[in-house]
Amino acid sequence: GAGVSQSPSNKVTEKGKDVELRCDPISGHTALYWYRQRLGQGLEFLIYFQGNSAPDKSGLPSDRFSAERTGESVSTLTIQRTQQEDSAVYLCASSFGERSTDTQYFGPGTRLTVL
Amino acid sequence: AQSVTQLDSQVPVFEEAPVELRCNYSSSVSVYLFWYVQYPNQGLQLLLKYLSGSTLVKGINGFEAEFNKSQTSFHLRKPSVHISDTAEYFCAVNFLRGNEKLTFGTGTRLTIIP
């Protein structure tokens, strides 16, 4: 079956521009996570959607970052007024259940480069 | 502060040799432990996880890991590696703080030498 997909796979933008990253989770997965991976660093948690509950936004680094999810489907991560330090690979993951004990399935990521 | 440490950023190993990838965490409370693997040009996938019970956990592709509570470690091992094991390996921990977040280590790049 189809896995988690993300688009675009690569995005190059100029400093100050807004970008929108998309994640299509596996159908039926209730939980969705966004992570950021900077070069040479581990995955950094950004935000977690859990069914119909309020999302856990505690990992968002600034108010320039926001994310939405419609029901249990597509999610978009928006970065406004991009800065060079936003350059990273942004990973999306989904899981069937809402506990961390449930296996997270990762997408291939979106590589964002801010010039 | 609770953290996850993978001391080895790169590990080169000859084919058919054994390998151990180290993971240590800092926590005085119970944890859930995971190893994820990222093959070249692919997304991360779960190798194995420890939730409770036996401290020796077996995963896919012949890998296993042992949870050592006293040493707060969860090292990943394989007795004989293959070229196809070339990948980046990430240790992750849920510190059971009442949320479902995983804290990831910085990763270890395993390179198999023919």
Residue B83 pLDDT class (50, 70, 90 cuts): very high
Tracing tokens 């590696």 back to the chain, one arrives at B81
A87 vs B40 pLDDT, higher one = A87
What value does the mean pLDDT of chain B take? 92
Whether A32 has its CB under 8 Å from any CB of chain B: the answer is no
B90 CB-contact burial (10 Å; exposed 0-12 / middle 13-18 / buried 19+): buried
- Please state the rounded mean pLDDT for residues B34-51: 91
Is the per-residue pLDDT at A1 higher than 70? no
Which of B7, B36, B44, B52 has the highest number of chain A CBs within 10 A, making it the mutation to test binding with A? B44
Q: List, in order of start, the domains of chain B with CATH numbers.
A: 3-113 (2.60.40.10)
What token pair was written down for A3? 């896995």
Of all residues in chain A, the one with the smallest CA distance to B33 is A101
Residues of chain A with Cβ-Cβ distance to B50 below 8 Å are: none
Average pLDDT, chain A: 91
Q: What pLDDT is attached to residue A80?
A: 98
CB A58 within 8 A of CB A101: no
Q: How confident is the model at residue A113 (pLDDT cuts 50, 70, 90)?
A: very high
Quote the pLDDT of residue A98.
66
Question: How far, in Å, CA of A78 to CA of A57, rounded?
Answer: 13
Q: Do B43 and A4 touch (CB under 8 A)?
A: yes
Q: What is the pLDDT of residue B29?
A: 80
**Alpha carbons B103 and A89: distance in angstroms, whole number:** 17
Cα dihedral A20/A47/A7/A2 (nearest 10): -150
pLDDT score of B97 = 65
Q: Is A71 on the interface with B (CB under 8 A)?
A: no
- Residue B91 has what pLDDT? 96
Contact call for A3 and B43, based on CB within 8 A: yes
Lowest average pLDDT, out of B43-47, B59-63, B75-79, B80-84, goes to B43-47
CB B36 within 8 A of CB B74: no
* Mutate which: A9, A34, A43, A111, vs B, most B CBs within 10 A: A43
Residue range A83-90: mean pLDDT, rounded: 96
Q: How many beta carbons lie within 10 A of that of residue B32, not counting itself?
A: 18
Mean pLDDT of A48-60: 87
- Please give the pLDDT value at position A97: 76
- Reported as type and span, the H/E element at residue A37 is strand A31-37
CB atoms within 10 A of CB B34: 27
CB-closest option in B43, B101, B105 to A109 = B43
Find the CB nearest B107 among A42, A93, A98: A42
A65: pLDDT strictly greater than 70: yes
Asked if the Cβ–Cβ distance from A43 to B104 is below 8 Å, we say: yes
Nearest to A23 by CA among A70, A64, A77: A77
CATH code, A30-95: 2.60.40.10
Q: What is the mean pLDDT of residues B75-86?
A: 97
Map tokens 């966004």 to a residue: A34
Residue with tokens 């036996």: B54
pLDDT band at residue B41 under the 50/70/90 scheme = confident
The residue with tokens 């069937």 is A96
Range of A34-43, A88-97, B77-86 with top mean pLDDT: B77-86
* Closest to A65 (Cα-Cα) out of A43, A83, A39, A91: A83
On whether the CB atoms of residues A74 and A4 are closer than 8 A, the answer is no
What is the reported pLDDT for A100? Answer: 65
CA dihedral sign of residues A24, A107, A19, B99: positive
Supply the pLDDT for residue B99.
63
Q: How confident is the model at residue B98 (pLDDT cuts 50, 70, 90)?
A: low
- Residue B60 has a CB neighbour count (10 Å cut-off) of 10
